[in-house]
Amino acid sequence: MSSIDKSGTYRLGDRSVKRLGYGAMQLAGPGVFGPPKDRAQAVAVLRAAVAAGVDHIDTSNFYGPHVTNEIIREALHPYPASLTIVTKVGGKRGSDGSWLKADAPDELRSAVHDNLRNIGLDALDVVNMRFMFDPHRPAEGPVEPQIEALAELQQQGLIRHIGVSHVTSAQIKAARRITDVVCVQNHYNLVHRDDDALIDELAAEGIAYVPYFPLGGFSPLQSDTLNALAGQLGVTPMQLALAWLLRRSPNILLIPGTSSLHHLEENLAAATIELDAATLAALDAIGRA
């Protein structure tokens, strides 16, 4: 399994984590609903990730639901002291697999306790508050009730750090008036560049930015230019897209997910890819187009 020691580290709460982490969403069944086809393989992928040096895992109790958290516990508990597990609250799954908002203060308290129980922790390292004012893009709306509820749980010692997800710059500022925000998790990748200015703004503040769907999510990245550049370098297009993200800004933490040992190794190897100025310029141009 490839090492990830060349990817560098960045601050996440009170720890420094390697910039290439792992997202557990794909360990659940199709549509992130129900159990995986091969639970033993899911366990093996998690163990291989940690063995390769991954020290930042992203999950949520509404993946499955409960499935990814339970697999993480089966695979890795008792957890290495260096491992940071980040979860998120603010949603739930319907019986048909639908994604539903669940952000009332009592729902958030229940979600935090569910995560604690299913992951097997006394306190959660980081909890991201996922806002759903618009399911497709961040949209303005009040964040104070939810952040205040999480801050209360933080004061009780159940949460160490708080992050926000699917948010605007104004919402981040509003959340930071209530408590420290250690990370922002929004949609961003080589071709989805709406948060370019926000990433630079957060970097100046020392706040981690964690792009979800770094490889395009349910619709993988498609670009003839990306394919051609990857071929010239002898890497896969997805490896090149991850390598670009690592070069985009030092505060970007990556959480690509997979249920395949082969793809895990490919993802981690992206940290070793060197990009010259001409390649970076060509990749940047994809997003501007």
Residues designated as active site: 63
Residue 58, phi then psi, degrees to nearest 5: -110, 135
Measuring CA to CA, which residue among 48, 72, 77 is closest to residue 260? 48
What is the bridge-based pairing of β-strands 181-185 and 84-89? unpaired
In eight-state DSSP terms, residue 177 is T
Report the candidate in 60, 81, 89 with the shortest Cα–Cα distance to residue 72: 60
**Cβ count within 10 A of residue 62:** 27
Q: Hey, CA dihedral for 185, 256, 14, 252, is it positive or negative?
A: negative
φ/ψ of 183, rounded to 5, equals -160, 155
Instruction: Report the sign of the C-alpha dihedral through residues 168, 172, 178, 180, in that order.
Output: positive
Residue identified by tokens 């303005």 is 140
The three-point CA angle 185-112-45 to 5° equals 60
CB atoms within 10 A of CB 144: 13
Return the bridge partners of 55, or none.
none
Please give the Cα distance from 53 to 20 (Å, whole number): 9
DSSP 180: -
